[in-house]
A and B are shown apart, each in its own frame.
Chain A
Amino acid sequence: MSAIFKRDLRGYFSSPLGFVFVAAFLIIMNLAFYVTNILSGKENLKTVFSVMLYGLIVVIPILTMRTFSEDYKQRTDQLLLTSPVKASGIVLGKFFAALTVFLIGLAFTVIQVIVIAAFGTPNMGSVIGNYIAVIAAASVYIAIGVFISSLTENQLVAAIASLGIFVGILLMDFSYSLVRADWLKAILYWVSLYRRFNTFYLGVFSIADFFYYISISAVFVFLTVRVLEKKRWS
C-alpha cells in the first residue's frame, strides 16, 4: 500500500495535475476569503469553510479523475493486480495519495487563519472543528471520485461523471428545504453532504456527523475494491 501511495503522490506532482488542483483550490478559497472576510471586515471564518464545501465540487474531480483511469489506459493496473498487494491496499494507497494532495492544498488556507488571528480573535475551537469536518467531507468526495475513476479508462469521463454526481448531491440538498414529506426529508438528509455540515458551521463539533462522513467514504472505498476484484471475472 505504501509503495502505491508514494508513487501516486509523486505522480500528482510530476505532472501538472497536482499543481492545477492546488492552484484551483486556492483561487476559490482566497476569493471566498477576500469577499467574506476582507471586504466585509468580519473575523468569522465559518463562511469560508462552507464555501470550501461547494468549491470541492469543482476541484475534487480534477484530483481523482486519473486515479484508476490512468492505470487502465497505461495497463499498469495489470502490474498492480499481479503484484503481491491486496485490492484494498491498491485502493487505499490511491485514496490516501489523493487525500494527501488535498491536505497540501488545505494547508495553504492556514494562512487565512493566521491573517485573521493577527488582526482579530477567531474562535480557534470552531476553526479546528471546521478543518476536521472539511477533511472528513472531502474524503467522501475523494472516495466517490476514486470510485468513478475505477469504472472507466477515460479520465474525462471520470471527471465529468464525478462532477455530475457532486452537483446531483448539491441539488438534493437544495430540494431538502422545498419538500414537505417527512420521509423524503429524512432520505434527503441522509444523502446530503451539506446538511451535515451545518452543525460544524454553527460551531458545534458533531461526532455523529463526523462518523457519517467517514462511513460514507468507507462505503465508496469498499465499492472500489469490489470493482477491482470484479475485473478479474470480466
Chain B
Amino acid sequence: MIEVSSLTKTYGKKRGIDRISFVVEEGDIVGFLGPNGAGKTTTMNIITGYLSANSGAARIGGVDVLEDPVEAKKKIGYLPEQPPLYLDMTVEEYLNFIFDLKLVKDLKRKKHLNEICELVGLTDHFKRLIRNLSKGYKQRVGLAQALIGNPEVLILDEPTVGLDPKQIIEIRNVIKNLGKNRTIILSTHILQEVSAICERVLVINNGQIVADDKPENLSALITGDRKLTVRVSGPRDSVRRVLRGVEGVQYAEATIQAERGSYDFLVEAQPNVDIRKPMFSALARSGYPILQLKSMELSLEDIFIKLVEEKKKSYVSTSKQGKKPKSDLHVNVSESTSADFDDIAPLVTKNEDEPEIDVSRTDDQTF
C-alpha cells in the first residue's frame, strides 16, 4: 500500500533523512519510533506530499506522490504534528470545509460527519468554536479531519500528544479499530504507545531506520538490562549492605529518599540472573520491607545505542535476523509492574524538548 524507496532529504547541509526505504502492506499499523528530530515528521511530510525528497520515491497504492499528487493525496488522511485548524471556525464548519476540500463525493455529508464525530468523541462539541477547545479536543478535531472521506491510508504524526491519560487510551483504541480496515502509519516517541497499537515498528534515529521489527521483540530489548529500582523501608546503609550481599547483585546504590524512613535503590544484576526472589528473601530476613519494586526501563536513547550496536553485529554476521535481540529473560518485569504507568508517562513527558525521555524516571515523579 505504501512503498517508500531510498528517500533522502537534506536541509541545507544538515541531513534530514538518509536513504529510508520500507513497504507497508494493506491493513498494517506501523509505528515510527524515534526521538525528536530523528526524521519521523520529515518522512511523513514526504509521503503526504507536503515536502519533496531530494532523491527516492514514495508511492501510495501504486501512485507516485510526485508524479500524480492529486490522486495520491486523495488516498491519504494526514494528521500533522500540529493539527492544522482554522481557529475562527466551529468544528461543524471546519469539518464541512474539509469535506469539500477533499472532494468527497460518494458519501452522505451529514451521516459521514456524524459518524466521525461519534468515533473521536466530538459530538458534544460539534457547534463550538475551535479556538475555545482544549488541546485534547483540538487534537481530536485534527484526527477527525484526517478521517474524512474514509482514506485508505492514515498518516498520524504523534496523535496522542497533549491528551490526558484517559483520552490517550480512548484515542489509541480508536486508532486500533481504524486499523482493522486501513493502513496506518503513526509516529511517536513513547515506547508504550508502539506496543499498545502497532503490529510493526520502524525505529528511526538520525534519519535512518535502525530497526524494523515487531514490538514484542523490541520490548524484550527494553528489559534486556537487569536494572531494578526498589524502594525499601529501613536505614540506608544497612539496607544497602543487605542488597549488596544478595547473590547475583552487581551494583546497588541508594538514589533518593522517597518517603520518610525509606529509600529508593538502584540495583543492577549480573547478566541472566533474576535477583528478585533472593533479594526479597534477604530483605525479609533482615526485616526491611519492600515498598515498591520495578524494572528500570531503558530510555529511547539507550535503546538506540543498543540497536545501533546490534546492527553493527548483524553486519558482521551478515544475517538479517542478527538485529533481533535474543530474548532470554525469565519474566518480563516491565510489563507486569509498570503497565499502570504506561499511559501516564506521555502526559508527563509531553513538553520535554530533549530527546532522551526516561519513562521510568518520570513515573517515579508522578507517584
Contacts and interface: CB of A to CB of B under 8 A. Distances in A.
Contact of B52 (A11, A74, A75, A233): A233
Contact of A81 (B50, B71, B85, B86): B50
A84 B49 CA distance: 10
Nearest to B78: A82
Interface residues of B, number: 29
A86 B70 contact: yes
A193 B98 CA distance: 38
B49 A82 contact: yes
B127 to A, nearest CB: 14
A170 B103 CA distance: 43
Contact of B84 (A75, A85, A232): A75
Interface stretch (A2-10, A50-58, A125-133, A215-223): A2-10
Given A78-B80, A233-B52, A4 B101 contact: yes
B93 A10 contact: yes
Interface string A221-234: 00000000000111
B207 to A, nearest CB: 17
Interface string A68-96: 00000011111111111110000000000
Interface in B88-107: 88-89, 93, 97-98, 100-103
Contacts of A85: 70, 101, 103
Nearest to A232: B52
Contacts of B85: 74, 76
A14 B70 contact: no
B48 interface: yes
Contacts of A14: 88-89
Contacts of B80: 75, 78-79, 82
Contact of A232 (B50, B88, B98, B103): B50
B145 interface: yes
Contacts of B100: 2-3, 6
Interface string B12-50: 000000000000000000000000000000000100111
A102 to B, nearest CB: 20
Interface in B308-346: none
A7 B86 contact: yes
A15 interface: yes
A11 B86 contact: yes
Interface string A25-37: 0000000000000
A82 B100 CA distance: 14
Interface of A is mostly: helix
Contacts of B145: 79
B52 A81 contact: no
A84 B70 contact: yes
Contacts of A2: 100
B49 A11 contact: no
A84 B102 contact: yes
Given A10-B93, A83-B102, A85-B101, A75 B82 contact: yes
B258 interface: no
B174 interface: no
A15 B89 CA distance: 10
Interface in A41-67: none
Given A81-B49, A82-B49, A82-B73, A76 B88 contact: no
Contacts of A74: 84-87
Contacts of B101: 3-4, 79-80, 83, 85
Contacts of B70: 84-86
B18 to A, nearest CB: 18
A67 to B, nearest CB: 13
A80 B50 CA distance: 9
A61 B73 CA distance: 33
A47 to B, nearest CB: 38
A155 to B, nearest CB: 14
Interface of B: 45, 48-52, 69-71, 73-74, 76, 78, 80, 82, 84-89, 93, 97-98, 100-103, 145
* 9 A-B pairs with least C-beta separation: A3-B100, A79-B84, A232-B52, A3-B101, A84-B73, A76-B84, A84-B74, A82-B48, A84-B70
17 contacts: A10-B89, A10-B93, A11-B89, A14-B89, A74-B85, A74-B86, A75-B82, A75-B84, A79-B98, A81-B50, A82-B73, A82-B80, A83-B101, A83-B102, A84-B102, A86-B69, A86-B70
Interface of A: 2-4, 6-7, 10-11, 14-15, 74-86, 232-234
